Structure 1
Amino acid sequence: MTRFDFHIAATDGAARTGTISMARGVIRTPAFMPVGTAATVKAVKPADVRAAGADIILGNTYHLMLRPGAERVARLGGLHRFMGWERPILTDSGGYQVMSLSELTKVTEEGVSFKSHLDGTRHLLSPERSVEIQRLLGSSIVMQFDQLVPTTTSRDEQQGAMERSIRWARRSREEFDRGEQHAAGSALFGIQQGALDEGLRRESAQGLIDIGFDGYAVGGLAVGEGQEAMLGCLDFAPGQLPADKPRYLMGVGKPDDIVEAVVRGIDMFDCVLPTRSGRTGQAFTADGPINLRNARFAEDQEPLEPGCPCPTCTGWSRAYVHHLVRSGEILGAMLMTEHNLWFYQQLMQGLRDAIARGGLTNHARAFLDRYRARDAR
């Protein structure tokens, strides 16, 4: 059984393409992970997520611990069996959701105590409990528990959260290793913190490297700092992490964000954007996003994106999808989401192919110029 093997097949500048091999399948990198927050990628069946090209999806520790409960999922055979997805699943640690969704949150060295946004019950999420929940779910890739603070906080606060995240990383590592049976077939990633500060990021990376992880995430970005600031951080943050391990940029993002991050050496991504946008009438295309609610699409017989091979584009017109969206029909959300998932996976395949042939610079520039042209107008 292959527990975890990262193979870099080709490089182009800082960018890499390769594979992550695990017991449940091979993940092609750079990879985009559709988000299955509550044990489902919203509005799409697992088989259709796979048909779009996804090798791995993401599940959410915070939401699953509250409903239906990690212990219940374990009794039902684990998350893969529960949701009908047999390929790898990465679960986040729950730290971001605790900070962003919960009321009356209190952070101590032990962990984060919080009030559920569902029913007001009190919970404590610690490094040990976060890893235990991910073990009960049967996660393929487990994320360490960390503390995220906004990039607008003081440097002292950012340093304090970064240092605590290193201490929590060690506790996460120890708890992961205690679950020998699960650890034998899964992987653990550490999360670099430090906001936009190069020195703090370097200190965080070194602390994580000293502990040792299967992969490393760049955390604490895409939380309102803006694209320019995020890319400025990515000019140095990935290079501080081990070159022989996968680098995962958490919560990103827009198609142009992904292209820019791949150029800077990122291997893995996740974001709710393609599914959330699909449910609200926004379709992604090579010429930028379009809003199918607009009246100009009412008699448009073109597909969402001419030339796109997805089932939505090969089966229905913009006019029909516009009608579904404006009518509030569930099928509209399903068709839009399916197209967006295909768009994202084709984006990743194009990047992998460009790196493999040594043509990423031209490929990325052509994509970005076309995708951003509508904004320029």
Structure 2
Amino acid sequence: MARSHGLLPLALCAALLGLVVQLSPAHAQVEPYRQHMENGIKLFQDRNYRAAVVEFEAAYKAKPKASPLFNIALAEKALFNYPRAIAALERALAHHRDTMDEGDEKTARSAIEEMRALLAHVTIEVNPPTAALLIDGEEQPPSSSAARVVELGPGVHRIGARAEGYTSAEQSVTVVSGQRDRKVRLTLAPDRAAIPPEPTPVTLPPPPPPPKPVPVQSSRQGYYVIGAASLLWPLAHPRAFPAEPNSGGAGSIRVGYRVNTPAAFDVMFQYANIATGADEAEHSDASYTFGSTRVGLNVRLMTPGQTWRFVGSIGGGLTYDDVSFDNLRRPDGSDLCNGACQHAWGVNAFVFSEVGVELDLGGVLLGFSLDSYFQSSRGISYKLDENDPNSDDITLYSSVLLQLGGSLHAGYAFW
């Protein structure tokens, strides 16, 4: 019965439990739920299923939720006690659906349907009616009726009865799945009657390999590195240059650390280069090139999915911008910008945001995002008179710079 967060392979589950016990023994002492869950999983792996059920029941008392009941059902199923396994899953569906996702609910219902198909209905008549009924050594709830209908899994079962003043009786009964007409009658004789012969012992087949229990969840942490190739469109241009719409490319690398399941921090290094032509039919060779080298710090947010997840980032930093112009002279000798388009450079602040999706293939990260960059343009300037160091600085842009685009990501995670 898999959960949405996945069932770890048995060896990996054992390694995870060893790490939890090693790193936080004091935390385990003050959190009974985690301690009982870990002990139950260890006992389950050792095939001590009855002891595992006791630990999972203690975990459920400490924190009532669906996970301990799922593990109880797994252990009871390994003991071939399908009615108890069904009861645990039905209890989870009835009282703890808020701790289950759609996949959990579907898996539980499918497991209940599968186990119910294996049950046989056996009618048991006990005389006297007040005698206690025992099935496989476990006493059943009392009943005022002499005939009781019980559900049993396929195989060999020991059905017995006992009462004060009477000699106990027991039978070995073999049932198959779907059987409805099997009847068992137990009549207890007074103590002075002869003792009935002992039932013939039955050798049960070895149990099948145990299913994987639900592991204790832990927060995902670790380093990651992501490279990105981007396509950017500038929405602001030098005020004196008649630019046409155009786009350019950018490459970046981000190195960060995921502090918990939803949040991470990273440092971004990026270089962008955008060449834009002039929107003038008679002088289309004119152009300018905008180059940016950015360094920033980002906060990255992620949904908890293990394979697919939504991601988003917001951050900012500093950028060194360099703007150069080419072929500004028209055929008639006039300047396209009337002298206002000069080589300019400077340092500015920027704000960065992205939203997208990411695929995690065992640590290999692949994704796509929509990006936006908002930055100041006051630092991009040139001297009115290059020969005079005291000359006024002339800014090349008249507004905040905005660039929009999309990126393809590839990287690796160490969580």
For the criterion TM > 0.5, the same-fold answer is no
Q: Bigger radius of gyration, 1 or 2? A: 2
TM-score by length of 2: 0.23
Q: Give the structure with the higher percent helix.
A: 1
Higher relative contact order (CA 8 A, sep 6+): 1
The normalised TM-score by structure 1 is 0.24
